[in-house]
Structure 1
């Protein structure tokens, strides 16, 4: 019984020692076994690991890709224009021993601070040699690749690999926004005025061309109408001449009737003619006078009786 009392604490201590010597590395982690601050073992493969209990400690680090959003900073471009820029980077721990030496006990949080400082220095260095059009355009991959190259070089000393860097914000400072917007508005208004002027000029040319074409078409149509009308009049006169040539007396008769119709219309005008005039030849006789014969004078009226 007394032996069992002494054996149980020994078993308990042995069990605690065995459990303390075991550690498990998750597939998303990397592990370092430290002894009094010195690295004794690197465990980068997921699974079960062993360490000296009570003397060695295990520190875990992320094996996944991590993200970093930099703080906004003002940079001066090659054209002395200022922009507010920030970036987003993706990085991963590649050398846990160098990483431990660089960040100490700060871990990933300390690495984020150091990488942010690296990018804060790399962004002005690269953008300071670029123009505003190049920075604000969609095709700025070359600038981001230059920043990435610097971040990779500096990050290698930390035991990390910077996978990608992207500029997420490129805005003007608040104090410059109003002036910039006013200038952009003036430029757009000037372009609009130019477009309106060019449109008005083009419209004027179109209207002038249309008016000229109308005049030409109208003149040509009138000329063709005059030609057709002249040909029609000539044909009419030819037909009339042929018809009147068949019976000259009938021609004279119809001409007289047309003259009577025109002259004897009712109205306020008066015509004084000699009754013996040849104008009344067809009114005094039902036949036409012989050529050269003077119509007989009409009988004189009887005198009125005395009162």
Structure 2
């Protein structure tokens, strides 16, 4: 190969290398900054095919999608000086690429470390201003909303990132605190149960007393109505008997005497001392005379 041909090959190779170093692509899921000897000259390179001066400009690319940070479980104190073990996570993304690069040198692990420190400080402030019951159940949503707003302001200003969400995965009580808390919760539940039980007994007694009163009233009314019906029946029976016996008084006297004989001589040991001509033996004497 001649010297001219070798020069041409070397020149072509250099052109290819320079061209490859002069072209770069920023994806839609990326954010980038352009540096010139380490100094930022373009703090927000748009997605697409771009050009740069080789060996002069440097391109740093970062993921623009939502990233997650699972912070370490930390011990926080409530306003009651109760210690809690809180495990939280943060969803964040790069918002200002220039500020992000300046604050973190473009290192994601450094950004995560700085952000984790700020999250811990903010949660410590939020938990320290509330009671145990509020942070566990009563105001957890409010705690998170306040933490997101406060962290957003700090993170955008200092780190160039925006906070999408902050969530508490788990809140645990230390062993030395959990037993006393559980005992207090158990005592409160037992007290509520006693109150509900006593109210139930009170209502039951009222219902039982009302039922007894209604029973007494119903029985009294039923007895009154029964006595009225019985009285009317007795009156009607007496009237019927009176009409029947008044039609034949002699027959009525005879049947009454037979009934008296039957009731008087039921026992074998019964003894009666009467005069033979007593009115009691009227029909017996008349029957013997008739024979």
Q: TM-score, normalised by structure 2?
A: 0.88
Residues 44 and 97 of structure 2 are in contact (CA less than 8 Å); yes or no, is this contact kept in structure 1? no
Instruction: Find the counterpart in structure 2 of residue 253 from structure 1.
Output: 254
Residues 25 and 43 of structure 1 are in contact (CA less than 8 Å); yes or no, is this contact kept in structure 2? no
Residues 82 and 177 of structure 2 are in contact (CA less than 8 Å); yes or no, is this contact kept in structure 1? no
Residue 138 of structure 1 deviates from its aligned partner by 5.3
Residue 26 of structure 1 deviates from its aligned partner by 1.5
Residue 188 of structure 1 deviates from its aligned partner by 1.5
1:129 aligns with 2:153: no
Larger displacement relative to structure 2 (16-25 or 270-279)? 270-279
Q: Distance in 2 between matches of 1:268 and 1:176?
A: 96
Cα distance per residue 1:219-238 (max 9 Å; x no partner): 22222222222222222222
Q: Which runs of 5+ in 1 are unaligned?
A: 288-294, 296-307
Cα distance per residue 1:81-134 (max 9 Å; x no partner): 3333233322221221211111125x2221111111011111111222223333
Q: Which runs of 5+ in 2 are unaligned?
A: none
Residue 217 of structure 1 deviates from its aligned partner by 1.8
Residue 256 of structure 1 deviates from its aligned partner by 0.6
Residues 43 and 49 of structure 1 are in contact (CA less than 8 Å); yes or no, is this contact kept in structure 2? no
Larger displacement relative to structure 2 (129-138 or 22-31)? 129-138
Q: Distance in 2 between matches of 1:189 and 1:227?
A: 56
Larger displacement relative to structure 2 (193-202 or 7-16)? 193-202
Cα distance per residue 1:138-186 (max 9 Å; x no partner): 5543322321222122212211122332333333333222221122122
Look up the SS of the partner of 1:276 in the other structure.
coil
Q: TM-score, normalised by structure 1?
A: 0.84
Residues 32 and 60 of structure 2 are in contact (CA less than 8 Å); yes or no, is this contact kept in structure 1? yes
Larger displacement relative to structure 2 (49-58 or 88-97)? 49-58
CA RMSD of aligned residues (A): 2.4
Instruction: Find the counterpart in structure 1 of residue 154 from structure 2.
Output: 154
Bigger radius of gyration, 1 or 2? Answer: 1
Number of equivalenced pairs: 288
Look up the SS of the partner of 2:55 in the other structure.
coil
More helix by share: 2
